[in-house]
Amino acid sequence: MEYRKDIQGLRTIAVLFVFIFHLNSNWLPGGFIGVDIFFVISGYLISSIILSKLDRNKFTFIDFYKSRIKRIIPAYYFLLLIVAVIGLFAIIPPEVGSFRKSLFWSLLFNSNNYFATLDTYFGTANIENPLLHTWTLAVEMQFYLFLPLILFWVKRKWLLPLITVFTIALFAYSSVEIFLNNNQQTMYYSLLSRTPEFFMGVLISLIPAFKTKKPEKYSFPLSLVGLVLLFSSAFILNGESDFPGLYAIVPCLGAGLLIAYPSNYIQKILSQKYIVYIGELSYSMYLWHWPIMAFIRYYYNTISLSFLQYGIVIVLTILLSLFSYYTIETPLRKKKDRKFIIYLGGMAILCCGLILTIPKASKKISPIPLTYIMPSFGLESHGHTFKGVGIYGDSTASNDSILLIGDSHASNFSCYMDYLGKKNHFAFRKISNNSYPLIPEIESEIFGKKEQGGYTNYLKLIEYANKEIANSKIIFLQYFAKHSEKWEDEVCSLIDNLKNDQYLILVSDFPELDKNPVRENRNYIKDKSRENKYKVTWHKPTEKVINYIASSPNAFTWIYHILRSLTMLHFIMIR
């Protein structure tokens, strides 16, 4: 197949889109479409190579998969090794578990399915995950598993109509899931929703008209339209767009037009020496840019980077990309099979070793006891660890009148209640659950598939909770304030069903901080030399619940402030 410098130039556009978007999404809000450009390019190049070899009876599955492994895995596994070692020292103990899972699924090229179960791609939690970007490599490798099978087994005359039907059907499928089923999270990482983007490239390699040289009078305007579609998508789309689905067709079409109609003018620009060189480095740049940004954001506990940090990211990305390209990516691709297997096997074994040893090693490296940064009090009466209703406070006092119920925030609050109970000589019972607070009459489809484990536990525990509610005189209720609208009808119903001698005390939620104090302080003991400034946000119940409380003699709100008690984030700073 003929080497096309303009496609390397298109890779440059793709990687710069992604790089700028990840630096600051305000600069290029739709820069994430660079990934979609990569997918279209991959679909075109890989299908062109396979079809060309099939026509010459030189295609073998072994050679194909061997070439893909040599092209992708060495630099990728080297990245995982470096990220694992840095993460061992940089990531605080309670977050090592999720980092370890990310590393494990990334190693197996299944991180897309793992990340689909976590926070959104555009959320603040994932922006600090150094392996978040590996989902694209996972999707690409998964696509390579079945594309050769289709091109090999389906007769050539049926390929074009079959791929066309699949492309339309899969775009429609992802659009239905996003627009009607509100399932954007899964679709963003899904192989099925991304396959039509690869297929757009495959179609270009299949359509006979695209294989002939086009007159400039047609080629230039169409390639110009392609550029306009790419850049307009990069500036108009954003993290709130219902993407991929139908919106993904626009940038994919733009990339497709540039590949199918290489204009002399635009092709000449994209084929410039330095633009092509960046395109050759694009894979290494893509691998390294994100972990650098993520670790800086994680260590400095910030989302917005400073001017100095922008410079550090750019310089490190260039240096590490050059190092990876010239010492790992290019040399190992040329190694003979036996030496290649030794190198690759060694990296894989080291990665597995790190995955196994990270938890223990992290505990030795970090001075932070998990007691201070993870939920540890009252777990026996909470969620899936439930072993019975917990009794806390003054053990010598009667415990038949006070009850604490709610979600994990109520469970954390029980520690403070226990302190009050021992100080003021009262006991209380507690029962709590993750996500779904133990309020009667909650329906299931509130959070979707992601939190169904919480609802399963809710169904098991609500029977116990109902009995405890019926037998209690004073009921403390606390839950995550951001979900207060979801429970307002159930809370009002609980108030309506109170007996004359029962009282409900709705406890306001813990304050929400804009920074993680343990990461900010790098310890559980306050470092007085560090100036820790936090933006504190207090949440209150909905108007409907407040009005219900105001009109009911049996309900109260308890607004409290616990100075320096940051239980919302599961830890307490100790001076």
Q: How far is CA 27 from CA 22, 122, 188, 234, 235, in A?
A: 9, 15, 22, 10, 8
Q: Are residues 331 and 392 in the same domain?
A: no
Cβ-based neighbours of 492, under 8 Å, separated by 6 or more:
544, 545, 548
State the CB neighbour count (10 A cutoff) for residue 353. Answer: 12
Q: Are residues 388 and 359 in the same domain?
A: no
When divided into structural domains, the chain yields a total of 2
Structure confidence at residue 559 (pLDDT): 61
Query: Is 383 part of a structural domain of the chain?
Result: yes
How far apart CA 44 and CA 1 sit, in angstroms, is 11
Mean of pLDDT over the chain = 88
Q: Are residues 355 and 501 in the same domain?
A: no
Structure confidence at residue 451 (pLDDT): 59
Structure confidence at residue 257 (pLDDT): 94
Q: Are residues 352 and 431 in the same domain?
A: no
- Backbone dihedral region of 498: left (phi > 0), alpha (psi from -120 to 50 degrees) or beta? beta
Query: Is 497 part of a structural domain of the chain?
Result: yes
Q: Are residues 121 and 217 in the same domain?
A: yes
Encode pLDDT of 116-128 as tens digits.
Answer: 887 655 555 688 8
- Could you list the residue range(s) of the whole structural domain that residue 443 is in? 379-569
Q: Are residues 328 and 402 in the same domain?
A: no
Query: Is 96 part of a structural domain of the chain?
Result: yes
Model confidence band, residue 449 (pLDDT cutoffs 50, 70, 90): low
Structure confidence at residue 214 (pLDDT): 64
Query: Is 575 part of a structural domain of the chain?
Result: no
Query: Is 372 part of a structural domain of the chain?
Result: no
Query: Is 371 part of a structural domain of the chain?
Result: no
Q: Are residues 345 and 395 in the same domain?
A: no
Q: Are residues 67 and 131 in the same domain?
A: yes
Q: Are residues 59 and 135 in the same domain?
A: yes
**The domain boundary residue, chosen from 333, 365, 397:** 365
**The domain boundary residue, chosen from 336, 365, 394:** 365
318-327, 355-364, 478-487, 552-561: lowest mean pLDDT where? 552-561
Query: Is 373 part of a structural domain of the chain?
Result: no
Q: Are residues 334 and 472 in the same domain?
A: no
Half-sphere exposure of 364 (CA within 13 A, CB side): 5
Count Cβ atoms within 10 A of the Cβ of residue 270 and give its class: 0-12 exposed, 13-18 middle, 19 or more buried.
buried
Q: Are residues 351 and 444 in the same domain?
A: no
Query: Is 574 part of a structural domain of the chain?
Result: no
Q: Is the pLDDT of residue 55 over 80?
A: yes
Q: Is the pLDDT of residue 561 over 50?
A: no
Q: Are residues 258 and 383 in the same domain?
A: no
Share above pLDDT 70 across residues of the chain, in percent, rounded to a whole number: 92
**The domain boundary residue, chosen from 304, 331, 365:** 365
